[in-house]
Amino acid sequence: MAIDKKSYTKTKHAGIKLHKDGIRFWFDFTLNGKRHSKLWKSNEAHTKADRLKTAYIELERLKAEILHKNEITANFDATVNDYFETLKERWKGETLKKYEFYYAKYMEDGIGKLKVKDVKAAHFTSFNKIIAHLAPSTRKRAYEILQPLFKLAIEDEIILRSPIKTSHIPVRNQLSEKKVVTDAVAKYKTLYSTINDMFADNPHHRAIFLFGFYGRRLNEVLSLEWNDIDFVNNQYRVRGENSKVNTEMVFSLPHDVREALLEFTNSDVEIFNISEVQHYYKAIREHSGIEEFTFHWMRNLSVSALSAMGVDLTHLTAMLGHTDSSTLKKYLSLQREASTSVTNEASAKLLEG
């Protein structure tokens, strides 16, 4: 649409002309040797002075956006889907499969099609209504994916700040969500015997399931490398890119896991060169008689059994690798390595009894 230049007059601000209706503005300016032109309509309810003031603010914002667009090297029109594809390189194994499935189901055809620079805070208010029927842990998974996505966009200078606000992210009380396991102490002992009996001649799988028995998530275990194991100080490290909370964590190395690892003969970088262990679940259930067994269920079992032994909530939180327990916040200096030493000792006493 052609601009009727005769209908606009200059204002006190260079580059801003006002229409005779007193509401519309014409931005006509040169930036870095290139001329730019845009029409903009102010709010009729504002006073004449306020309309000119907001027009000036909009012009400065427009200039900043143009400069920002010209300076960046990344694709300014990249969509959320484009960034998700880039981000997938950071995830591995079961975590990647889980995130891909979740993203395809809840985000790919909705928020995923938006350009990253066009995503606003209001989009997440609407998105949270779509996933409101899901469990808190499942709702929070969306932000485990989206927060690093928008952080990467900021690093690429596609956007200046993340549209995700604290109020958008579901708040979980991690330990209160854990299902209490009935007869936990008995099941704890039974499962420990089952793992050692079934994999007596297979230190590889014995180590995997014992790591889970002591509270590790499956992805944390399968992504371990030999340089994450410190046999001298009896510690092991879960790197940030492989942890659910994106934070590097150090834990005490249980003696029986250490013994299993020392039986290994391979010298590959990665300790466990497999992608899944679910096909062993049925055999473990039959051997132990524990029908509810899964790898992740062992975390619930550990919390239930060790809390019955009097282990402090703070140490249990650290053992699981959580960071947002209300109790843990009171102990900001807490060290997971020290806390897992406590839980390992309690576990040893329980298994001896």
Pair (336, 221) in one structural domain: yes
Longest dimension (CA), the chain: 94
Q: Which residue has the higher pLDDT, 71 or 141?
A: 141
**pLDDT digit string, tens, across residues 44-75:** 989 999 999 999 999 988 888 777 666 555 67
CATH of residue 339's domain is 1.10.443.10
Q: What is the mean pLDDT of residues 133-138?
A: 82
Pair (272, 142) in one structural domain: no
334: pLDDT strictly greater than 50: no
Counting the structural domains of the chain, the total is: 3
CA distance 199 to 210: 10
Q: Where are the beta strands (DSSP E) in the chain?
A: 8-10, 16-19, 24-31, 34-41, 229-230, 235-238, 249-252
Tokens of 11: 């204002």
Please tell me the pTM assigned to this model: 0.51
Q: Which residue has the higher pLDDT, 151 or 75?
A: 151
**What is the side-by-side order of every strand in the sheet holding 235-238?**
229-230, 235-238, 249-252
**pLDDT digit string, tens, across residues 219-249:** 889 989 999 999 999 999 988 877 776 778 8
**pLDDT digit string, tens, across residues 277-317:** 899 999 999 999 999 999 989 988 888 888 877 777 777 77
Structure confidence at residue 345 as a pLDDT band (50, 70, 90) = confident
Predicted confidence at residue 328, as pLDDT, reads 34
Pair (241, 266) in one structural domain: yes
Query: Across all residues in the chain, what is the average pLDDT?
Result: 84
Pair (168, 188) in one structural domain: no
**pLDDT digit string, tens, across residues 117-132:** 999 999 999 999 998 8
The length of the chain, given as a count of residues: 353
Q: What is the mean pLDDT of residues 262-276?
A: 81
Q: Is the dihedral of CA 259, 260, 265, 269 positive or negative?
A: negative
169: pLDDT strictly greater than 90: no
User: Which of residues 172, 200, 228 is at a domain's end?
Assistant: 172
Q: Nearest Cα to 150, choosing from 118, 105, 127?
A: 118
**Residue type (1 letter), 276:** E
User: Which of residues 53, 71, 89 is at a domain's end?
Assistant: 71
Q: Nearest Cα to 197, choosing from 189, 206, 188?
A: 206
CB contact at 8 A, 17 and 10: yes
Phi-psi region at 84: left, alpha or beta (left = phi > 0; alpha = psi -120 to 50): alpha
Count of CA atoms in the C-beta half-sphere (13 A) of 200: 4
Q: Which H or E run contains 297?
A: helix 297-308
Pair (238, 144) in one structural domain: no
Structure confidence at residue 135 as a pLDDT band (50, 70, 90) = confident
Percent of the chain residues topping a pLDDT of 90:
45
Lowest-confidence segment of 167-181, 194-208, 265-279, 326-340 by average pLDDT: 326-340
User: Domain limits at 125?
Assistant: 80-172
Helix, strand, coil percentages in the chain from 3-state DSSP, rounded to 5: 55, 10, 35
